[in-house]
Structure 1
Amino acid sequence: MSQSVDRALRILPLLARGPADLGRVAAELDVHKSTALRLLRTLHEHGLVYRQADQRYRLGARLFTLAGEAVESLDVREIAHPHLLRLNEETGHTVHLAVHQDAEVLYIDKVDSRYPVRMYSRIGRPVAITVAAVAKLLLADLPEAERRALAERLEYPRYTERSTAGPEEFLRELALVREQGWAADLGGHEETINCVAAPVRGPDGRVVAAMSLSAPGALVGEAELLELLPLVRRTARAVGRDYSGVDEPAGDEPDGDGAAGDGPGADERGGAGPERP
């Protein structure tokens, strides 16, 4: 990379922290003011920086326009699919990818398990929004006022004894999911199906999609499935990294024993579950 390009690119993260004058930019780049001014003028000509009335520089509107266009051109399903395939190959279980769209949470991709038993979920179909882990991950990321308004207008079907009972319980579940960063449904939608899920985050840290790993309880016990949660979370982070170009910190990720230990509470709070046709 040329020295001029490198210096120009270093200006952008500096201005992302707030407006800066010529002297600060020059000091940050460790160059003479004339060099910094030449770089700033070039960026200004392309709309990437803007010179304010107080002679300080800030990021230009063109930069935000380009960022928006870049995000809109990304297809999270296309980016995620190879990761879903690898997770399916490693575990043998059914993998789903879902997004929040038009007041619904929809499955947009699915890789079936290798065993004869098949999930009832279908690509393009809505999930059971009050019990699905992928739904709770996506809805937990909404602002508090939106979460409460949504909880009040939803219906709460009792699919099983472990299904979410009403708006207050739903809000508690969303708060927990938001805090722990993952969700589980151990028989909340179908008594025979267990599921764990993790969020896929965009460049701004918001949840843009959610992926889940599901298996019949007769073949995979709750504790055994929860032991796979760290793998699901790592896969979701890898999708997010490829989608946004930002590597999400791993944080405090439970190991197999920790995930299994969280199970008894998670089956009442998380949610996923394939949707019947």
Structure 2
Amino acid sequence: MSQSLGKAIRILGRLGDGPATLDELASALGVHKTTVLRLLRTLAEEHFVFRDRGHRYHLGARVHELSSRGLDQREVRGIAGPHLAEFNREHGHTTHLSELVGTQVVYIDKLESHDHVRMASRIGLRAPVHSTAAGKVLVAELPAGELNDLLGVLTFAPATPNTITDSDAFRAELAQVRVQGWGQDREENEPSVNCIAAPVRDASGRAVAAVSVSVTNIVLSGERLLELIPSLLAVSERISRECGWRAITDSSRGRPA
């Protein structure tokens, strides 16, 4: 990769965290302002960045356009879309589709709730695996070696007083997720927000995405949210089947193994 291209990519990455001035970008990259300004001018010409009246740079329309196209090209997102829309129409709560990227989950689709309460989440936003229902679902069935590697680098930073901050406690939580086939977070990632999630599987049975439902306590209590688990499992299974997965019924438990 050329040095200029690498610096341009780093500029875009920094702006993904929020607007920044020329001085802030130069400091972040550790290069002279004239070099950063030259790259910014090229990026601005192609609409990858723009500068506001306060002389702060932002991600431009071209980035958002490519992001939208990239999301549309994700096969699981396209397959899940109609099912998520139907689920959202029926229940009316914020619905997400997420995937695992490194040690975080990334929201690749979102359907807003039908009430006036809006979640802070957005498509493209990343969230920790240890404090989210989707994260727990996506890492619960990782091979032992991959799970150990992941847990070895997690910082278990507390997002709320309810966040799991201990590796052993998180392992116990994942064991429960594997047994029951779904995960939850109880105000662990955001205060007053509860969430449940279920895996979307590919033909190999691997969890490639997670469908989740998030509600605030003022809309629905955590206990009432659990009543949606059968519907959540049903929609995640429908999506999984279209992704090529075929369940093997465990007759002793009366549900897919």
Q: TM-score, normalised by structure 1?
A: 0.62
Identity, % of aligned positions: 37
Distance 1:141 1:245 in 2: 15
Q: Does 1:128 align with 2:128?
A: yes
Alpha carbons of structure 1 residues 239 and 199: separation in structure 2 relative to 1, 3 Å? same
Count, aligned residues: 182
Q: Does 1:106 align with 2:106?
A: yes
Identify the residue that residue 143 of structure 1 maps to in structure 2.
Answer: 143
Deviation at 1:196, TM superposition (A): 0.8
The Cα RMSD (Å) is 2.0
Please state whether the residue corresponding to 1:228 is helix, strand or coil. helix
Contact 1:76/1:243 (<8 A) preserved: yes
Q: Which protein is bigger by CA-based radius of gyration?
A: 1
Distance 1:98 1:171 in 2: 21
Contact 1:97/1:210 (<8 A) preserved: yes
Distance 1:173 1:246 in 2: 26
Deviation at 1:248, TM superposition (A): 6.1
Deviations 1:166-194 (A, max 9, x none): 21111111122122210011211112111
Distance 2:236 2:157 in 1: 29
One-letter amino acid matched to 1:221: S
Identify the residue that residue 213 of structure 1 maps to in structure 2.
Answer: 213
Identify the residue that residue 51 of structure 1 maps to in structure 2.
Answer: none
Q: Does 1:236 align with 2:236?
A: yes
Please state whether the residue corresponding to 1:211 is helix, strand or coil. strand
Distance 1:140 1:115 in 2: 32
Distance 2:126 2:214 in 1: 16
Matches within 5 A, 1:181-192: 181-192=181-192
Alpha carbons of structure 1 residues 207 and 87: separation in structure 2 relative to 1, 3 Å? same
Contact 2:136/2:177 (<8 A) preserved: yes
Contact 1:74/1:243 (<8 A) preserved: no
Distance 2:86 2:130 in 1: 29
Which has a greater percent of strand?
Answer: 2
Deviation at 1:154, TM superposition (A): 0.6
Deviation at 1:208, TM superposition (A): 1.1
Matches within 5 A, 1:259-274: none
Distance 1:253 1:127 in 2: 33
Contact 1:148/1:171 (<8 A) preserved: no
Deviation at 1:231, TM superposition (A): 0.3
Q: TM-score, normalised by structure 2?
A: 0.66
Q: Which 5+ residue runs of structure 2 have no aligned equivalent? A: 1-72
Distance 1:183 1:253 in 2: 19
Distance 2:107 2:224 in 1: 24
Contact 2:104/2:128 (<8 A) preserved: no
One-letter amino acid matched to 1:177: V
Q: Which 5+ residue runs of structure 1 have no aligned equivalent? A: 1-72, 255-277
Please state whether the residue corresponding to 1:200 is helix, strand or coil. strand
Alpha carbons of structure 1 residues 97 and 248: separation in structure 2 relative to 1, 3 Å? farther
Identify the residue that residue 79 of structure 1 maps to in structure 2.
Answer: 79
Distance 2:160 2:254 in 1: 29
Distance 1:191 1:101 in 2: 24
Q: Does 1:222 align with 2:222?
A: yes
Moved over 3 A (4+): 247-254
